Chain A
Amino acid sequence: MSPARLTVRAVVVSDARAPQLFAALDAILAQDPAPDAIHLLLTADVDAPDHGWDPRIDVRRVQADSWGEAVATLVAEVPAAPHELLWLLHDDMAPLPGALAALTATARKRLRAGVIGAAQVRWDDASRLVNLGTTTSRIGARRLALVEEEDVNQGQYDDRDDVLAVSLGGALVRRELWERLGGIDPGCDGWSESLDFCRRAWRSGHDVVAVPAAKVRHGQERLYGRRGGSGGGRRSTYAVRRASEWYHALTYSPLWAVPLLLVWTVISALARAVLRIAQNEPRLLVADLVVPWRVLALVPRLPRSRLQVRQAGREGRAAEKSLLAGSRQIAHHVRALEFGVRDRRKAAAAPTDVVKAELLTARRRRRAVLAALAVLLAGVSVALRPPWVAGIVGGEMLSGTMLGVTDPGIGALWDRALTGWSAQSLGAPSIDAGLSALLVPLAAAPGGLAVSLGLLLVFTPLAAGLALWAASGAFTRSLAARALAAVVYALWPAALVAVDQGRVGAVVVHIVLPWVVLGLARAGGWQRGERIGGGDEHAARPPSSSAAMGAAAMLGVVVIAAPVLLAPALVVIAVLGAAAGRLRWRLWGVAIPALVLSAPGLIAAWNAGPFTRDALAIVVREPGPSGTAAIQSSLDLLTGLDLDVAGVPQVLMLTARGLSGLVVLAAVVAALIGRRRALSALAVVAAALGLAVAVLVQGVTMSPDAGSGGEAAAGFYGPGMSVVAVAFLVLATSAAADVWFAGAGAARAWRRVGAIAVGAVLVVATAGAAAAQVWPARESDDDVAPVARDVLPLVAAIEQGTEERQRVITLAEVDGVATYAVLSSDGPDVVSSAATLTATGSPAARRDAAPIAGAADLGAAVAGLVTSSSDAASALAQWGVGVVVAAPGSEGIADALAQTPGLALMGASDRGTSWRIGAPEGDGRVARAWMETRDGVTAASMGHATGTVDATGPGTLVVAAAADSAWRATLDGAPVVAVEDPLGRQAFAVSGPGEVVFSYDDRGYRAWFWAAAATLAWAAIGSIPARSRRATEEDER
């Protein structure tokens, strides 16, 4: 023990905003030994207590903006006593008895100790630790508390002494150290100041020691944002704290690393932003995004802070360095924090062992049934279409007259999605991305879109069945009811028709819709818990914001695939939100991505005159393949469709049709007698809306998939009927949840017998329906079949891929009529979605636009080809058609083409005979875009909707694509004026020589595209069930 007498000067700084001030003062006065002097520094006026201030306290009013400044003011005013120690205290800190004694004891023992910190415990529970030393990472941007917050103090840290930093609150600081270091760095903005001061203390050759035995209660008023009454919790101070950590890192890093750290703040903020989206923490998201700007604002203070660090010296540098946290310690820290939160949450909800065992049994049973269901549905999926599976495995793609080819590359899909320029026919501006953006992830899978889309179509029953299994789990825990509902949904007739015909949009809706329902149920906390014991319901999990985000993302996918479903979805969500009480905004928010995705379509519909046929056709448009199906009345729709199927025994067909009828019947009965009336009413309303949509869309004429002049399909009833199926199955299964356990005694027995009987009938009907589908002799008008991925003759396909991007016309003779198609890709690509056209052939994406040039405009030239007219070839070359292909079997056309002037035979193969228009190479080649000058014609190098060409002089740039206001061109960066082209192509008057760059640049489209992509991505990330560690941010002070 040092013989010298130590002088302790207690300094309490108050801004008059902490309610603990008087308790804190009392606690200091009660210390034994008492401090030699007690100063209360008031930065704001405080009313003295009724009996006046204690005479032992020296109360001073100081002008200071911060705690550190107030202390500095005092130190400047009061002369130093020998061996003086400053006991720095906040107004929300109350030392426990013996705290000062323990601190001074250490001060006597450890002569080099410049800062002696106390253990901070919670104000209301002294057994819980708040802080006992702090360290930081080597870079300094992450502060680590050395105790786990809220840890129960069982003496496990009693041997702690040297630490990198302690909180200055409650700590003794030697006055000479304080003066040598110049006090606290005001640049720290109040949060990293302890860490900064302690690190400077180490560097100046002093030690920093934590004294676990000295305990100080801490109200943490500032951390929780309670000072000033904002009461925003820890999240309200997050941005400031995080910025101060970065500031600390900047202060202690080498000078050359400062710019790198500034960049790193941005990267870190963006990465954390993604995490915040996943955690559904919008406030922290904003806070994280603000952090880099806050750091930037602090940079002017940096030189002074860095100077102070340098002035502290280098004596204790090695010791300081050894106390910094390594990567393992940081990992441990993070893990401890995250697992601690999870375990605490788990422990809070832990059921009793008996319940746990029951839940375990239920889970085992559930998994067994799910596995069996998956195997069954996978088997049915394969049995329904063995040739498809064989074809996909053999490297072929699924294709059909409606489906087109299914192997567009990821680049083509992305170009279509990003630019909004549809390459169908002669090109057209589109309202939205349609399926193209949705298909990009599928195209990125191994094997490309052909494999993933093929498997999606093959395994639609499996995917749909499992989705409904999941959704029905929110409404019943009866495994039999769920499994049966899943099989019925998997075999839903409208969905199987959609698969047969390759209607990708309807298939996607059928698979995704149950997940929307599940998400909505979980978001509102309406899902049923597991039945345990005699039928008691085990409390289910609380409402989930991640589920709401998941529902929002899935609903977005649904309205992409079937825009018409926005209307029923909005009705259902509006009702659910109104019924959700305080969760209403969470539920209403589910509609946001769907609304953003639908906005361009709704705007286009409004521009088309809100109540016209065109507007209706836009609202109910079908992205991807569309085609006219045999019309079905509402009764046909509810009783399993009136289809033209041969070869299946009549009894099986009737059973299959009866199944749909039984589902409808069961749902209506459940609505009448079921207990969950609100749910029943909503489900019936949804089904009615779905049915109305299914019936009415059949009367709407869609925009043609093949572009202007192509066949326009009628709307398809599939998406509407998927809504009906989900609604009715949810309704029926939710009633089944109650029926088994309702009543008592004989009544219950009778109910169970009845339920078993109904179940048995449904099982028989389902088996019949399945048998009817997989019946070997079944003959139906399936349109889709696996074919080789190369559709056009190779010589033709190669020309499409060159810089000139030649178009190909295919000609086939069907019933004496020459049928032709204009192709920009190897086969008719329909899945990426054509542009939407109005009945007059003008693009729906433009208000009051003229009809756009399309394949129909090439009719005369095609007729000329067939009659060997001499000017046909040049007319086609004007539209960038470089290859003409006569389909196999159309010999008459091939013969006509052989005699047509301007065509040169390229070759014949089993995919057709090809003729070239124009020169095979060099100047005379046909191109998609070219520059016409006095010197001649120069072909442009062209991408999907962009290209460049070197102009040798003034002339005309012709882009052989339908003219549109969004085409732009520049000559050496200066805009070029568009001119009218008599053929309806896009043309520009180029004024002189230079590099001409042109592109389709639809800014309005792009804005909506990115808005939709961002909201959808936000919802998708937000649906990740990552819970935020809200209550446990790092300790501060």
Chain B
Amino acid sequence: MIRTLAIVAALLGLAAAIALDAPTPGGAPAATATFASDPRTLPAVCPGTQTIPVGDIQSGDAELDSGSDEVDFTVLPEGGEVIDGGTAFEGVGMSLERIGSGDIAGLAGMTCAPTSRDQWLVGGSTELGASARLVLSNPADTSVRAEVALHTPVGAVDGVTSVVIGPGAQRIVLLEAIEPEMPAVAVHITAGGLGVSVAIQDSRLDGFTPAGSDWVTASAVGEALAVPVPAESDGGRGATVTLIAPDGAQVDLSMVTDQGEVTWIGESALTLEPGVLTEIPVPQAAPGTVLIDASAPVAAASRVRIERDAPAGQGTQAYDFAWTGSQARADARERAVVVPPGEVSLLVHADAAGAVDFDAVGETLTVTVPASGSVIVPVDVAAGVRLSSTTEASWTLVVTDDPGFLTTIEPVSVEMSSVETTVIVGG
């Protein structure tokens, strides 16, 4: 009897065990910690002088020579550190090169490119007559490896090009060697450590006629971008904006000038395929700013071409152009340029109307921007002065010169804001 009761009790115990609810699963994930690095000043590198893509050919006829005697190369401020062919600064620097004749005649200027671990450069062409010369500079004391991924209007090029840059050295990659015959290219460059400083020399030749040359620098990637258009656009091939969305995006384009918004040619809403480069003409308008609102991060740049008579005459036209990269519209970081010599104006856009203040080493320069507009004003500041702003505005210095040369000097932030790194204890 007792044993039967024991069995019954035991079976009831078993039933109770079966009736136990499964508990909330235990366990805890490994500690994930996100650390912000201390802000610091990034080194920036100006890549140096441009090179003639086909080499310096001396024909004896100054008008036909590829090279030029009228080369005026300025790097400001003084006191940069020479690395290979370039100059590195702890802070903001600028290079401006005026080449009066030859294949790459024109004005090419840029703010020295700060090193970065992940950057998009939109601009350049690998078509016949064009050369896209990617210059990678490593101002650090240790070597760094960069990976270059090329994007074209037909999408991403298979494979990446891995380049190791020694300490204080430069490496050149000709993009036409990676993928020729592409009317437009964009490169995505990733690097470790402090990253690399990169710029593309985009030089074009139309037969014997120079078709312009400029430096392409990094474009901001974001969903609300402004792309300065530094000169009057013709509504045709003379002024274009090039966009790329790494993961695809819906974008809405508009353009503003000091006269307010300009009507966009055709459909202003676009669908960007992932990794595919899209080139859109800019409406005919005065210098202004193209505004981009995207559903996902995009990078963009504008290219504006100025005509002039070709030196050889016969009614042919020579050109110079300027690449200007996109800027984030809501960027309140301090961004700065160094004012170059020559005829300089300031193209400013702000989403909110009002005053945009610039600091020119103690002096304040105020530009008033109209509502939903963009304004271009001449700048009267001595060359070599650092000009900076912390206002949420997009702006660029526009440099023009005779006989029809154009370039832009875009502001950069060399303060590396603290980078957030997530680390986790693993096995």
Contact = CB atoms under 8 A, between A and B. Distances in A.
A695 B193 contact: no
Contacts of B14: 668, 684, 687-688, 691
Contacts of A638: 18
A722 interface: no
A641 to B, nearest CB: 13
Contacts of B194: 868, 899
Interface in A604-663: 628, 631-635, 638
Contact of B4 (A677, A830, A892, A897): A677
Contacts of A896: 117, 192-193
Interface in B310-341: none
Contact of B7 (A631, A680, A689, A895): A680
B142 interface: yes
Given A638-B18, A821-B427, A897-B192, 17 more contacts: A634-B18, A677-B6, A680-B7, A691-B17, A701-B26, A707-B425, A710-B31, A714-B27, A812-B426, A818-B424, A820-B423, A828-B427, A869-B37, A898-B142, A898-B144, A899-B140, A901-B142
Contact of A711 (B19, B29, B33): B29
B32 interface: yes
Contact of B425 (A631, A709, A864): A709
Contacts of B34: 863
Interface residues of A, number: 77
Contacts of A671: 7, 10-11
Given A714-B26, A817-B424, A818-B422, A859 B20 contact: no
B150 to A, nearest CB: 18
A817 B35 contact: no
B419 A711 contact: no
B167 to A, nearest CB: 9
Interface in B412-427: 419, 421-427
B23 A901 contact: no
B191 interface: yes
B87 to A, nearest CB: 20
A494 to B, nearest CB: 15
B25 interface: yes
Interface of B: 3-4, 6-7, 9-11, 13-14, 16-35, 37-38, 117, 140-145, 147, 190-194, 419, 421-427
Nearest to A728: B14
Interface string A701-731: 1101111011111110000000000000000
A830 B11 CA distance: 39
B363 to A, nearest CB: 35
B354 to A, nearest CB: 37
Contacts of B35: 859-860, 863-864
Nearest to B3: A677
Interface in A531-553: none
Contacts of A404: 427
Q: Which of B31, B143, B190 has the most CB of A within 10 A?
A: B31
Shortest 10 CB-CB contacts between residues of A and residues of B:
A895-B192, A899-B193, A699-B23, A819-B426, A714-B26, A863-B35, A677-B3, A684-B10, A714-B27, A681-B6
Given A692-B17, A817-B32, A892-B192, A685 B27 contact: no
A449 to B, nearest CB: 18
A401 interface: yes
Contacts of A901: 141-142
A428 to B, nearest CB: 14
Nearest to B18: A634
Nearest to B195: A899
Contacts of A425: 425
Contacts of B28: 701, 704, 711-712
B96 to A, nearest CB: 30
B367 to A, nearest CB: 36
A869 B425 contact: no
Contact of A864 (B9, B27, B37): B37
Nearest to A822: B425
7 contacts: A632-B22, A677-B7, A692-B16, A695-B20, A699-B24, A897-B192, A899-B192
A800 interface: no
A698 B26 contact: yes
B59 to A, nearest CB: 45
A273 to B, nearest CB: 42
A773 to B, nearest CB: 25
Contacts of A696: 20, 23
A706 B426 contact: yes
A6 to B, nearest CB: 77
Given A714-B25, A898-B142, A856 B33 contact: yes
Interface string A867-904: 11100000000000000000000011111111111000
B421 A895 contact: no
Contact of B9 (A681, A692, A860, A894): A681
Contact of B426 (A632, A689, A820, A854): A820
Nearest to B146: A895
A866 interface: yes
A702 B27 contact: yes
Contacts of B419: 867
B102 to A, nearest CB: 38
A706 B424 contact: no
Given A863-B423, A868-B194, A710 B23 contact: no
A687 B25 CA distance: 22
A713 B28 CA distance: 6
Contacts of B33: 856, 859-860, 863
Nearest to B144: A899
Nearest to B20: A695
A895 B194 CA distance: 9
Contacts of A633: 21-22
Interface string A837-862: 00000000000000000111001101
Interface string A798-838: 00000000000000101011111100000010100000000
A180 to B, nearest CB: 77
A672 interface: yes
Nearest to B11: A684
Given A692-B17, A899-B144, A681 B7 contact: yes
Interface in A78-101: none
Contacts of A368: none
Q: Which of B11, B18, B19, B192 has the most CB of A within 10 A?
A: B192
B10 A709 contact: no
Contacts of B9: 681
A859 B29 CA distance: 15
Given A711-B30, A713-B27, A818-B423, A688 B145 contact: no
A696 B23 CA distance: 6
Given A634-B19, A866-B423, A712 B27 contact: yes
A684 B13 contact: yes
B114 to A, nearest CB: 14
Q: Which of B13, B24, B423 has the most CB of A within 10 A?
A: B423
Contacts of A685: 10, 13
Given A635-B18, A684-B14, A699 B423 contact: no
A866 B36 CA distance: 11
Contacts of A867: 37, 419, 421
B19 A699 contact: no
A698 B23 contact: yes
A895 B145 contact: yes
A677 B6 CA distance: 8
Nearest to A904: B142
Contacts of B141: 901
B11 A898 contact: no
A18 interface: no
A580 interface: no
B145 A855 contact: no
B31 to A, nearest CB: 4
Contacts of A709: 30-31, 425
Contacts of A319: none
B18 A868 contact: no
Contacts of A816: 422
